[in-house]
Amino acid sequence: MKMIELALLAAGGVLGVFLRYGITKSPLLLGALSVNVLMVNVIGSFILGAFAVLSQQWNLDQKYAMFVAIGFCGGLTTMSSFALETANLADNKQYLLMAANILTNVGLSIGAIFGGRAITSVILEGGLK
């Protein structure tokens, strides 16, 4: 790994972690379901989807992926917190909330990838491909 790639990866990761901390430091709960973790996962997925289109359309160098996709989005989103919250809901026998947590985090994050790609395509090309 080149020094510039390492620096971009680190810078993106630090920015993503700081944004995640800002969004998750004050818990927003919908019952026992954490909305904060859902928010960072969906926002990060949307950004990643938009970046995927930009990267392809503009033929961006791989170093930008180190900064945005791996560093920033990797630092922003949080699979481990999602997994812990899901396990805690199961431990407390809140199976309906556990299922809702899984479906919303996975479903909305995948939807955000498609949404980010679609919106960015519309902006860049004036229509979807």
Q: What are the tokens at 97?
A: 């909330």
Percent of the chain beyond pLDDT 90?
A: 89
**Which residue ranges make up each domain of the chain?**
3-125
Contact 8, 65 (CB under 8 A): no
Per-residue pLDDT band at 127 (split at 50, 70, 90): low
How much is the mean pLDDT over the chain?
A: 94
Q: What is the chain's alpha carbon radius of gyration, rounded to the nearest angstrom?
A: 16
Region 94-109: what's the mean pLDDT? 96
C-alpha–C-alpha distance, residues 88 and 10, integer Å: 31
The secondary structure element, H or E, covering residue 34 is: strand 33-34
pTM here is: 0.90
